Amino acid sequence: MKRLAALFLALTITLGSVPACAEWAEGAFSMVNTAAFSERNGQRTALDLERQSAEATIDIQTGDRLGLTIGGTNIVLYPVSGGLAGLTWNPQGVSLLHEEDIKALNHPLTPGEVPAWGADMAWPGLGVARLVLFPLGADAYVGFLISHPQDRKVVRQMEFRRVPGPRDRPD
Protein backbone atom coordinates (compact mmCIF):
# COMPACT_ATOMS: atom_id res chain seq x y z
CA MET A 1 0.00 0.00 0.00
CA LYS A 2 2.86 2.39 0.81
CA ARG A 3 4.43 1.67 -2.59
CA LEU A 4 1.14 2.37 -4.34
CA ALA A 5 0.78 5.69 -2.48
CA ALA A 6 4.41 6.61 -3.30
CA LEU A 7 3.87 5.71 -6.98
CA PHE A 8 0.68 7.81 -7.09
CA LEU A 9 2.49 10.77 -5.49
CA ALA A 10 5.42 10.48 -7.92
CA LEU A 11 3.03 10.29 -10.89
CA THR A 12 1.10 13.32 -9.67
CA ILE A 13 4.29 15.36 -9.26
CA THR A 14 5.53 14.29 -12.73
CA LEU A 15 2.25 15.12 -14.46
CA GLY A 16 2.14 18.50 -12.73
CA SER A 17 5.38 19.47 -14.44
CA VAL A 18 4.24 18.71 -18.03
CA PRO A 19 4.50 21.92 -20.10
CA ALA A 20 1.15 23.64 -20.52
CA CYS A 21 1.65 24.12 -24.28
CA ALA A 22 1.35 20.35 -24.82
CA GLU A 23 -2.36 20.74 -24.01
CA TRP A 24 -3.15 23.23 -26.76
CA ALA A 25 -4.71 22.35 -30.09
CA GLU A 26 -2.72 21.75 -33.24
CA GLY A 27 -3.72 21.11 -36.83
CA ALA A 28 -6.05 22.75 -39.33
CA PHE A 29 -8.06 25.82 -38.35
CA SER A 30 -10.44 28.19 -40.03
CA MET A 31 -9.42 31.80 -39.42
CA VAL A 32 -11.84 34.72 -39.56
CA ASN A 33 -11.55 38.39 -38.61
CA THR A 34 -14.11 39.03 -35.87
CA ALA A 35 -13.45 42.67 -34.92
CA ALA A 36 -11.31 45.56 -36.10
CA PHE A 37 -10.81 49.24 -35.46
CA SER A 38 -8.67 52.13 -36.54
CA GLU A 39 -7.47 54.77 -34.11
CA ARG A 40 -6.27 58.24 -35.04
CA ASN A 41 -5.71 61.07 -32.53
CA GLY A 42 -7.39 59.03 -29.78
CA GLN A 43 -10.58 58.50 -31.81
CA ARG A 44 -11.57 54.92 -32.58
CA THR A 45 -13.56 53.91 -35.63
CA ALA A 46 -14.87 50.38 -36.16
CA LEU A 47 -13.74 48.87 -39.46
CA ASP A 48 -15.86 46.79 -41.79
CA LEU A 49 -14.93 43.12 -41.62
CA GLU A 50 -14.25 40.73 -44.42
CA ARG A 51 -16.24 37.69 -43.30
CA GLN A 52 -14.29 35.35 -45.56
CA SER A 53 -12.42 32.65 -43.76
CA ALA A 54 -8.89 31.47 -44.47
CA GLU A 55 -7.22 28.16 -43.84
CA ALA A 56 -4.54 28.16 -41.16
CA THR A 57 -2.35 25.50 -39.58
CA ILE A 58 -1.06 25.78 -36.02
CA ASP A 59 1.61 23.58 -34.48
CA ILE A 60 3.58 23.59 -31.24
CA GLN A 61 7.31 23.75 -31.96
CA THR A 62 10.46 23.13 -29.97
CA GLY A 63 11.07 25.68 -27.23
CA ASP A 64 7.33 26.30 -26.73
CA ARG A 65 7.18 28.30 -29.95
CA LEU A 66 4.00 28.28 -31.99
CA GLY A 67 4.07 27.77 -35.75
CA LEU A 68 1.32 29.49 -37.72
CA THR A 69 0.84 28.98 -41.46
CA ILE A 70 -1.65 31.16 -43.33
CA GLY A 71 -1.88 31.25 -47.12
CA GLY A 72 1.46 29.48 -47.49
CA THR A 73 3.26 31.95 -45.21
CA ASN A 74 4.97 30.42 -42.16
CA ILE A 75 5.15 32.58 -39.04
CA VAL A 76 6.99 31.60 -35.86
CA LEU A 77 5.51 33.06 -32.69
CA TYR A 78 7.55 33.13 -29.49
CA PRO A 79 6.30 32.73 -25.91
CA VAL A 80 5.26 35.98 -24.25
CA SER A 81 6.73 36.26 -20.77
CA GLY A 82 3.94 35.92 -18.22
CA GLY A 83 1.43 34.58 -20.78
CA LEU A 84 -1.91 36.36 -20.71
CA ALA A 85 -0.82 38.17 -17.52
CA GLY A 86 2.04 39.73 -19.53
CA LEU A 87 -0.34 41.41 -21.99
CA THR A 88 -2.53 44.47 -21.66
CA TRP A 89 -4.92 45.98 -24.17
CA ASN A 90 -7.70 48.51 -24.19
CA PRO A 91 -10.91 47.12 -25.73
CA GLN A 92 -13.06 50.05 -24.57
CA GLY A 93 -15.51 51.37 -27.13
CA VAL A 94 -14.95 48.53 -29.61
CA SER A 95 -16.02 44.91 -29.87
CA LEU A 96 -12.66 43.30 -29.09
CA LEU A 97 -12.57 40.53 -26.52
CA HIS A 98 -11.79 41.80 -23.04
CA GLU A 99 -9.21 40.22 -20.74
CA GLU A 100 -12.11 38.94 -18.59
CA ASP A 101 -13.50 37.08 -21.64
CA ILE A 102 -10.17 35.36 -22.23
CA LYS A 103 -9.90 34.42 -18.55
CA ALA A 104 -13.41 32.95 -18.56
CA LEU A 105 -12.78 30.92 -21.71
CA ASN A 106 -9.58 29.48 -20.24
CA HIS A 107 -11.02 28.66 -16.81
CA PRO A 108 -9.66 27.26 -14.44
CA LEU A 109 -6.23 28.60 -15.47
CA THR A 110 -4.87 31.82 -13.99
CA PRO A 111 -3.78 34.55 -16.43
CA GLY A 112 -0.14 33.58 -15.82
CA GLU A 113 -0.93 29.99 -16.82
CA VAL A 114 -2.65 30.95 -20.11
CA PRO A 115 0.15 30.98 -22.68
CA ALA A 116 0.55 33.75 -25.23
CA TRP A 117 2.79 33.87 -28.27
CA GLY A 118 3.84 36.85 -30.36
CA ALA A 119 6.15 38.25 -33.01
CA ASP A 120 6.86 41.48 -34.84
CA MET A 121 7.00 41.07 -38.63
CA ALA A 122 6.75 42.82 -41.96
CA TRP A 123 3.14 42.48 -43.08
CA PRO A 124 2.27 43.24 -46.73
CA GLY A 125 0.48 46.56 -47.02
CA LEU A 126 0.77 47.34 -43.30
CA GLY A 127 4.50 47.71 -42.66
CA VAL A 128 5.79 46.29 -39.38
CA ALA A 129 2.98 44.61 -37.47
CA ARG A 130 2.75 42.74 -34.18
CA LEU A 131 0.83 39.47 -34.04
CA VAL A 132 -0.16 38.04 -30.65
CA LEU A 133 -1.99 34.74 -30.24
CA PHE A 134 -3.40 32.91 -27.22
CA PRO A 135 -5.83 30.03 -26.67
CA LEU A 136 -9.59 30.37 -26.40
CA GLY A 137 -10.22 27.20 -24.44
CA ALA A 138 -8.65 23.93 -25.58
CA ASP A 139 -9.72 23.96 -29.25
CA ALA A 140 -9.46 27.54 -30.52
CA TYR A 141 -7.18 30.58 -30.53
CA VAL A 142 -7.67 34.31 -30.71
CA GLY A 143 -5.14 36.74 -32.08
CA PHE A 144 -4.57 40.44 -32.47
CA LEU A 145 -2.74 41.95 -35.43
CA ILE A 146 -1.60 45.47 -34.52
CA SER A 147 -0.18 47.73 -37.21
CA HIS A 148 0.59 51.43 -37.63
CA PRO A 149 0.00 52.40 -41.27
CA GLN A 150 0.51 56.11 -41.94
CA ASP A 151 -0.58 58.11 -38.88
CA ARG A 152 -3.00 55.64 -37.29
CA LYS A 153 -3.15 52.39 -35.35
CA VAL A 154 -5.14 49.46 -36.74
CA VAL A 155 -6.10 46.47 -34.59
CA ARG A 156 -7.66 43.35 -36.06
CA GLN A 157 -8.97 40.50 -33.93
CA MET A 158 -8.79 37.06 -35.50
CA GLU A 159 -10.31 33.82 -34.27
CA PHE A 160 -8.95 30.42 -35.20
CA ARG A 161 -11.51 27.60 -34.93
CA ARG A 162 -10.87 23.92 -35.62
CA VAL A 163 -11.82 22.78 -39.08
CA PRO A 164 -14.94 20.59 -38.69
CA GLY A 165 -14.24 16.90 -38.68
CA PRO A 166 -12.76 14.24 -36.45
CA ARG A 167 -10.06 15.28 -33.97
CA ASP A 168 -6.46 14.31 -34.55
CA ARG A 169 -7.03 13.34 -38.16
CA PRO A 170 -3.92 12.96 -40.33
CA ASP A 171 -2.88 15.86 -42.58
103 against 166, higher pLDDT:
103
Q: Report whether pLDDT(7) > 60.
A: no
Q: What is the pLDDT of residues 16-62, one digit of tens each?
A: 332 344 478 999 999 999 999 999 998 999 998 877 889 999 999 99
Euclidean distance between CA atoms 89 and 51, whole angstroms = 24
102 against 120, higher pLDDT:
120
**What is the mean predicted confidence (pLDDT) over 62-72?**
92
Q: Report whether pLDDT(14) > 50.
A: no
Spatial neighbors of 135 by CB under 8 A, at least 6 apart, are 24, 25, 106, 114, 115, 141, 142
**What is the mean predicted confidence (pLDDT) over 87-111?**
82
89 against 22, higher pLDDT:
89
153 against 8, higher pLDDT:
153
Hey, what CATH topology would domain 21-162 get?
Porin (2.40.160)
DSSP class of 49: -
Averaged pLDDT of the chain? 81
